[in-house]
Structure 1
Amino acid sequence: MLSTTAILVLVITVYVNAKVTIYVTDTPIQRIGTRLYKQELLTNQFKDVKELTYDSATRNLYFMYMDDDIQNSGRAFVNIITKKAMKINGIKNNKATAVDSDTGEVYFGSDDGLYKYDPIANEAVNIGLYNMNIFKLVIRNNEMYLIDANNHMIYKIFDQGSRAVRVGDMKTVIEFDVDFKRNIHFVTMCGVYCAVDGIEVVKNKDLNVVYHFISDEYKTFGVTESGLYEIDCRNGTAKYVAYLDFFPRSIIFGDYGDIFYAVDDNIYILKPINSYFIYKFHKNKS
């Protein structure tokens, strides 16, 4: 039973055959397709948050934000359990963040190369790729990839950040991700593409632009202005999944079906609601 101090949120969702369906929860809820999620605010202490990345071991969510103190982009993390947030020192122009899920190591990209997070000193240390302007960083399947903003091409990184090898001939890349099957999803000025197994490039027939890719172990989704699409890499197609009533600056999957996303200065977690009661009320026609 809800306490008297709990917040009651009544969401009227369906009007069918003079019936009203009401969900009663102690937090706001979000519907994505057929799934319901409890929405919780993790932090609103940082300005213009983006580039979310998550470490399951520490339960820390890392991100980039605009820092008024350094008059540039900075980096920080918030623990999703305690909701305690902390700034990270060491970079004045942070552009990218990524976590190696196998090792828990955290990396950042800047206009002067690759940085690695030292959790003891709580600072980022420049470790290599000094001539690269790292615009986007992805670590998946124990492999590191990035976009170099000097030429907007994708590179695969070897030897602990000391060597970069260009991937294919993909030009004007503005967004990308690597799924769990090693397919490289990317967006250029000419459209949305997928390099199947990192090699054969297939153009998507259904989408012209994707603002964010999000992948789990089985599927990859693209966020567009009209909603969420499931992407078929090999066939070059996309299937509409759901409308989103928010437009994220960044969005990723967490543990156990959780979703993290940032809107303006707010970072939220969506937790799946696996069981609930539905109360149906018949409208009085008189």
Structure 2
Amino acid sequence: MEFNFLEELLSYYKEYDKKCGFGVMTKQTDRDEDDSVRYITLCCARGGKARNRTLNVANPRPTGKTECKAKINALRKNGVLRLTTVHNIHNHGLSPKKSWFFRCNRKVSDAVKRVLDTNDMAGIRANKRYESLVVGASGFENLPFLEKDCLIILTNQDIYDLAQVVPEHSDNREMKNAIAIVFPNTQHRFCLWHILKKVPEKLGSYGSYKTGMKNALMKCVYDSQHVYEFEKCWDELLTTYNLHENAWLHSLYVEREHWVPTFLKEWFWAGMSTTQ
């Protein structure tokens, strides 16, 4: 068999491996000075010797290598890649129904590529504890009901309270960064209901919580009609009840433009919360 381009050869052999039920990997390539492939060997993904992939000899990680000899070789001659060797005998079972799970057959859609690019721009690092939610932020752009010029976005502030889970990342704001990149002209707000729901948990242990602290906090949040009023009221709250060292209140103050009503009164929110 002959193929005009390397892509044609790869596509053909991958279709063959999907029908038969084995994975494919490139074992060897040789290129000319113009970077075109002169010689290539494609083999079964289970070829090669099994290696212990962990230092823990008591609990080694499983490996799929079986020294399988199935392979094809192709050599470029007269401008085309011609198969010179074909060996189709495998020393292991084949699984046609599982072909889509083989690494060689996994495809990354354009939508996912955009998500990954956005995550990279936002400085998002893969972390199993909150990877899915930060990827979800940049994934907003792929939802059919969201347009690039949408006016407001409301999210749950809980996802930013990472101090208890991942202390070294407590100052990161991946979701906020991703939204700012995907929707640069959109006002992003944290759900006020979810924030205030945490007040008893975060401040309830203070002796003055029920004797004035709670009411002072609510007055500061709801009754401040101007930014300078909020700033003054907040400073009085911290001073009166000795809350300057409270990490939760400090984190809220840093993000005040995303949840305090007086900072957001120029936009219409319809009194909504993320629970709706």
What's the TM-score, normalizing by structure 2? 0.23
Tell me the TM-score normalised to structure 1 length.
0.22
| Higher Cα radius of gyration | 2
Bigger RCO (CA 8 Å, 6+ sep): 1
Structure with the largest fraction of strand: 1
Query: Which structure's residues are more often helix, by fraction?
Result: 2
